[in-house]
Amino acid sequence: MKLRWRQSLASLVLISSSLVQAATPESHGLAMHGDLKYPAEFTHFSYANPDAPKGGGFRQAAIGTFDSFNPFIVKGTSASGIGLLFDSLMGRSLDEPFTQYGLLAETIRMPEDRKWVEFDLREAAQFSDGSPVRADDVIETFRLLREEGSPFYKAYYKNISNISSLNDGLTVRFDFGEEENLELPLIVGEVPIMSAEYWASREFAAPSLDPILGSGPYLVGDIDPGRSITYQRNADYWGVDLAVNKGRYNFDQMIYDYYRDSTVALEAFKAGQYDFREENSSKNWATGYTGPAFDDGRAKRELVDDANPAGMQAFIMNTRRDLFEDKGVRQAITLGFDFEWTNANLFYDAYTRSHSFFSNSEMAATELPTAAELEILEPLRGQIPDEVFTEVYRAPTTKGDGRNRMQLREALKLLREAGWNLDAGTLKNGNGDEFKFEILLVQKDFERVVAPFIQNLEKLGMEVSIRIVDVSQYINRLRETDFDMIVGSFGQSSSPGNEQREFWGSEAADQPGSRNLIGIKDAAIDRLVELLIQAPNREQLVLRARALDRVLQWNHFVVPQFHIASHRIAYWDKFGFPETRPTYALGLDTWWSKETN
């Protein structure tokens, strides 16, 4: 009787599990908020041309060098374009804020509370060596990332409580912790999936130039280590006819040539040595794209609207250094940057001043907090700057004439309050220590932006130097937080979430390779980050992002710089592209070579 009872219980569990599965809605995609744009029977994204011809090559430039094909670890510098080797469970739609559709996964099941998600894998899904993609590969991918990968992954996926294989390996299930984290089902769906068998005999945490086995549309072709890499379109790619892929990945070769700096790279582009360039220098954009090729239309330059949040580009202060520990000192340094003069004299008035960590979006805090936002902030009163409740943050503004005496006087007042005083033109504290620090750069072009900033800081009695290093050294110093100040950025998506822990979270502050470059350790900020991640709907997401924005702003962690709400692109006239472009990206993977027509 006991054996039969156990068998009956097992049968009931299986039946119960099947009933739960049957009662859970199935879909071909997931949206963070709202409904899916594309129905189950859709054949291609509206910004892709399903009849685009295949063939030709697309050559781009990269700066620096590479010594690894593993982009998931702290060590090494991974090759540009490495993502072309991989597929994920879902593919992102570039004309919706945060929506994904099945790629390796054919069907997705998720309850209303989003406490778990199941992905039914396509039986045809396979790696480039012909082996099938199954649940064990997904499970091993997440184990490698969370246990041996960059610290980012441990924080980003920390709310995953269990991953299991069902249905003979054709279904993978993710169970999530008790904390509300509504974006987790989507972000696990965008992870590049690796082969468990491939990594069983290799060391994941060591950089290597052995091409990683993937299931994506390209394979590694020719390699000139540190100088060039070619990805070859996989003629046997299993997913070529899927709706999420139709009209994409049209070039036979994707080539990345490496240059020592952007000045050399620009000249190489003008000489026709590569095909496409996105420009990030306003001076280059205003003066560099000239010559016969542009005059007669063989080469083109274009501004393309960018609907994505601009995030924050800034001079970033490393608060792990005693020098930048005091908020008043950080504010004083911010007063030394004359954006208006810089924009007029160096940038051809091309930029907009950044005031927010969510610039160019509805999530930017640009007005006093509303009653709904105060409900979020009030429990933190006394733990966050008082100005959060009474003032709208704006980065310091000058007349732009190069004489920012008023701002410098205010800066000196703040410095005196923090215990720093001028002694024969040198800023010193009560112990006689001089105020000196280094700005670490990887782009020599940015020296012209930093120099006027330093001149203003020197008027305050500070001693500031510039150090320019190569890409590898720069990456290593950032990983070890071995810097005083850098020029960096915190990019934002239209649906911010788990990555905010990595930007501002206390746990990330002391982890080598984390994105908490500032070194923030603040319980109130941790709380706001968790509230943002747990936002139940779009309205609350916006309110919670604004609340976080205010607290970051008024702590003066960075010297805000500038942004532009468009892509500046230049390309040789050898490409075709769809009439409709995606809202949230350039959509280069939908272009094709006109030479194949």
Residue type, 270: K
Report pLDDT for 597.
Answer: 60
Report pLDDT for 16.
Answer: 46
559: nearest Cα among 469, 486, 478, 496: 486
Q: Which structure tokens are listed for 472?
A: 């590898």
* Helix (H) / strand (E) containing 451: helix 447-459
Residue 511 lies in a domain: yes
Q: Which structure tokens are listed for 225?
A: 């280590």
Report pLDDT for 215.
Answer: 98
- Kindly list the strands in the beta sheet with 558-560, ordered across the sheet, starting from the edge strand earlier in the chain: 463-468, 436-441, 485-490, 312-317, 558-560
Total count of domains within the chain: 2
351 in the same domain as 243: no
351 in the same domain as 260: no
174 in the same domain as 61: yes
234: nearest Cα among 90, 120, 129, 355: 129
Q: For the domain that residue 86 is a member of, what is the CATH number?
A: 3.40.190.10
328 in the same domain as 189: no
- Kindly list the strands in the beta sheet with 228-233, ordered across the sheet, starting from the edge strand earlier in the chain: 57-63, 253-259, 228-233, 218-224
243 in the same domain as 118: yes
Residue 92 lies in a domain: yes
Residue 517 lies in a domain: yes
412 in the same domain as 317: yes
Residue 58 lies in a domain: yes
Q: Which structure tokens are listed for 538?
A: 């779009």
Strand partners, 559: 315
383 in the same domain as 243: no
Distance CA 456, CA 342 (A): 12
Q: Which structure tokens are listed for 37?
A: 């744009």
Burial class of residue 370, CB neighbours in 10 A (0-12, 13-18, 19+): exposed
State the residue range of the domain holding 204.
Answer: 23-34+44-264
156: nearest Cα among 164, 145, 140: 145
Distance CA 581, CA 593 (A): 17
Distance CA 87, CA 212 (A): 12
Residue 336 backbone class (left: φ over 0; alpha: ψ -120 to 50; beta: rest): alpha
317 in the same domain as 252: no
Report pLDDT for 15.
Answer: 47
Distance CA 31, CA 569 (A): 30
Residue 10 lies in a domain: no
388 in the same domain as 250: no
Q: What is the pLDDT along the chain (597 residues), one digit of tens a residue?
A: 333 333 443 444 444 445 445 578 899 999 998 899 999 999 999 999 999 999 999 999 999 999 999 999 989 999 999 999 999 999 999 999 899 999 999 999 999 999 999 999 999 999 999 999 999 999 999 999 999 998 889 888 989 999 999 999 999 999 998 888 889 999 999 999 999 999 999 999 999 999 899 999 999 999 998 899 999 999 999 999 999 999 999 999 999 999 988 889 999 999 999 999 999 889 999 999 999 999 999 999 999 999 889 999 999 999 999 999 999 999 999 999 999 999 999 999 999 999 999 999 999 999 999 999 999 999 999 999 999 999 999 999 999 998 999 999 999 999 999 999 999 999 999 999 999 999 999 988 899 999 999 999 999 999 999 999 998 899 999 999 999 999 999 999 888 998 999 999 999 999 888 899 999 999 999 999 999 999 988 999 999 999 999 999 999 999 999 999 899 999 999 999 999 999 999 999 999 999 876
Residue 514 backbone class (left: φ over 0; alpha: ψ -120 to 50; beta: rest): beta
Residue 451 lies in a domain: yes
225 in the same domain as 164: yes
316 in the same domain as 252: no
260 in the same domain as 318: no
Strand partners, 427: 422
Q: For the domain that residue 529 is a member of, what is the CATH number?
A: 3.10.105.10
Contacts of 422 (CB under 8 A, 6+ apart): 412, 428, 461
* Helix (H) / strand (E) containing 576: strand 575-576
User: CA angle at residue 582 from 579 to 587, to 5 degrees?
Assistant: 90
Residue 223 lies in a domain: yes
Report pLDDT for 22.
Answer: 53
Residue 325 lies in a domain: yes
Contacts of 108 (CB under 8 A, 6+ apart): 26, 27, 28, 29, 30, 90, 102, 117, 118, 119, 120, 185, 189
Distance CA 132, CA 126 (A): 4
